[in-house]
Structure 1
Amino acid sequence: MATTNQNTVTQTFPVLGMTCASCASSAESIVTHQEGVVSASVNYATGNLIVEFLSNVTNAEKIRKAVQGVGYDLLIEDESKQQESLEVIHEKKFKQLKNKTLWAVILSLPVVIIGMFFMDMPYGNEIMWAFSTPVVLWLGRDFFINAWKQAKHRKANMDTLVALSTGIAYIFSVFNMLFAGFWHQRGLHAHVYFEAAAVIIAFILLGKLLEEKAKGNTSSAIKKLMGLQPKTVIVIQADNTEKQTAIENVKVDDVILVKPGEKIAVDGMVISGSSYVDESMLSGEPVPILKKENEKVFAGTINQKGGFQFKAVKVGKETMLAQIIKMVQDAQGSKAPVQKLVDKVAGIFVPVVMGIALLSFIVWMIFGGDNAIVQGLLAAVTVLVIACPCALGLATPTAIMVGVGKGAEQGTLIKDAESLELAKKVNAIILDKTGTITEGRPQVTGIQWLNNDDSKKYILFSIEKQSEHPLAEAVVKYLDKVNSTSLTNFDSITGKGAKADQNNETYFVGNKKLLFENNISIPEELQQQANEWSKLSKTVIWFSDSKQALSVIAISDKIKKTSAQAIKEMQDMGIDLYMLTGDNEATARAIAEQTGIKHYKAEVLPQHKADFVKELQEEGKTVAMVGDGINDSTALATADVSIAMGKGSDIAMDVAKMTIISSDLTKIPQAVKLSKQTVATIKQNLFWAFIYNLIGIPIAAGILYPINGFLLNPMIAGAAMAMSSVSVVSNSLRLKWKKVI
Structure 2
Amino acid sequence: MRNGDLVLVRPGESIPADGVVRKGESDIDEAMITGESRPVKKREGDEVIAATINGEGSLRVEVTGTGDKTKLSGIMRLVADAQTSKSRAQHLADRAARLLTVAAIGAAVVTFGAWQLAGAAMDFSVVRMVTVLVIACPHALGLAVPLVVAISTTLGARNGLLVRDRRGLEEARNLDTVIFDKTGTLTLGEFRVVAMSVAEGLAEDEALRIASGIEAESQHPIARGIVKTAEDKGIAVPSADGFRSITGKGVAATIDGVEYHMGGPALLKSEDVQVPPAVIKTAGAAADRGQAAIYLVREGKALAVFAVADAIREESREAIAALHERGIEVAMLTGDAQAVADAVAKELGIDTVFAEVLPEDKASKVRELQALGKKVAMIGDGVNDAPALATADIGIAIGAGADVAVEAGHIVLVRSDPRDIPRIITLSTATYRKMAQNLWLAAGYNIFAIPLAAGVLAPWGILLTPAVGAVLMSASTVVVAINAQLLKRVKL
Matches within 5 A, 1:290-305: 290-304=41-55
Select 1:584's aligned residue among 334, 337, 340.
337
TM-score, with length taken from structure 1: 0.60
Q: 2:69 matched to 1:318?
A: yes
| Equivalent AA in structure 2 for residue 736 of structure 1 | K
Residue aligning to 2:483: 731
Which stretch has the larger CA shift, 658-667 or 608-617? 658-667
Q: 2:157 matched to 1:408?
A: yes
Q: 2:181 matched to 1:428?
A: no
Residue aligning to 1:491: 245
Residue aligning to 2:362: 609
Write out per-residue CA displacement over residues 245-274 of structure 1, whole angstroms, 9 at most, x where no aligned residue: xxxxx4322333445554433211223444
Residue aligning to 1:515: 268
Count of aligned residue pairs for this structure pair: 486
Matches within 5 A, 1:278-677: 278-304=29-55, 307-367=58-118, 369-370=120-121, 372=122, 374-453=123-202, 460-480=211-231, 481-487=236-242, 490-491=244-245, 493=247, 496-499=249-252, 507-545=260-298, 547-677=300-430
Instruction: State the Cα distance separating 1:471 from its structure 2 match.
Output: 0.6
Residue aligning to 1:718: 470
Query: What SS is found at the alignment partner of 2:143?
Result: helix
Q: 2:449 matched to 1:696?
A: yes
| Equivalent AA in structure 1 for residue 355 of structure 2 | A
Unpaired stretches in structure 2, ≥5 consecutive residues: none
| Equivalent AA in structure 1 for residue 478 of structure 2 | V
Query: What SS is found at the alignment partner of 1:339?
Result: coil
Instruction: State the Cα distance separating 1:545 from its structure 2 match.
Output: 4.6
Return closer, same or farther for 1:679/1:615 CA change in 2, 3 Å cut-off. Answer: same
Query: What SS is found at the alignment partner of 1:556?
Result: strand
Query: What SS is found at the alignment partner of 1:466?
Result: coil
- In 2, distance between residues paired with 1:337 and 1:457? 55
| Equivalent AA in structure 2 for residue 256 of structure 1 | V
Return closer, same or farther for 1:524/1:609 CA change in 2, 3 Å cut-off. Answer: same
Return closer, same or farther for 1:281/1:272 CA change in 2, 3 Å cut-off. Answer: same
Matches within 5 A, 1:68-87: none
- Contact kept? 2:213, 2:237, Cα under 8 Å: no
| Equivalent AA in structure 1 for residue 325 of structure 2 | D
Matches within 5 A, 1:146-165: none
- In 2, distance between residues paired with 1:643 and 1:721? 40
Which stretch has the larger CA shift, 560-569 or 428-437? 560-569
Relative contact order (alpha carbons < 8 A, sep ≥ 6): 1 or 2 greater? 2
Instruction: State the Cα distance separating 1:474 from its structure 2 match.
Output: 1.0
Instruction: State the Cα distance separating 1:351 from its structure 2 match.
Output: 3.2
Instruction: State the Cα distance separating 1:420 from its structure 2 match.
Output: 2.7
Residue aligning to 1:679: 432
Instruction: State the Cα distance separating 1:544 from its structure 2 match.
Output: 2.6
| Equivalent AA in structure 2 for residue 730 of structure 1 | I
Query: What SS is found at the alignment partner of 2:407?
Result: helix
- In 1, distance between residues paired with 2:60 and 2:40? 16
TM-score, with length taken from structure 2: 0.88
| Equivalent AA in structure 2 for residue 483 of structure 1 | P
What fraction of aligned residue pairs are identical, expressed as a percent? 37
- What RMSD, in angstroms, separates the aligned Cα atoms of the two structures? 3.0
- In 2, distance between residues paired with 1:386 and 1:719? 8
Write out per-residue CA displacement over residues 78-134 of structure 1, whole angstroms, 9 at most, x where no aligned residue: xxxxxxxxxxxxxxxxxxxxxxxxxxxxxxxxxxxxxxxxxxxxxxxxxxxxxxxxx
- In 2, distance between residues paired with 1:375 and 1:259? 90
Return closer, same or farther for 1:597/1:614 CA change in 2, 3 Å cut-off. Answer: same
Which stretch has the larger CA shift, 699-708 or 534-543? 699-708
- Contact kept? 1:702, 1:712, Cα under 8 Å: no
Return closer, same or farther for 1:318/1:467 CA change in 2, 3 Å cut-off. Answer: same
Return closer, same or farther for 1:261/1:537 CA change in 2, 3 Å cut-off. Answer: closer
Unpaired stretches in structure 1, ≥5 consecutive residues: 1-249
- In 1, distance between residues paired with 2:241 and 2:491? 60
- In 2, distance between residues paired with 1:564 and 1:306? 37
| Equivalent AA in structure 1 for residue 306 of structure 2 | I
| Equivalent AA in structure 2 for residue 544 of structure 1 | V
- Contact kept? 1:458, 1:485, Cα under 8 Å: no
- In 1, distance between residues paired with 2:32 and 2:374? 28
- Contact kept? 1:580, 1:602, Cα under 8 Å: yes
| Equivalent AA in structure 2 for residue 439 of structure 1 | L
Query: What SS is found at the alignment partner of 1:578?
Result: strand
- Contact kept? 1:630, 1:649, Cα under 8 Å: yes
Instruction: State the Cα distance separating 1:655 from its structure 2 match.
Output: 2.2
- In 1, distance between residues paired with 2:443 and 2:165? 23
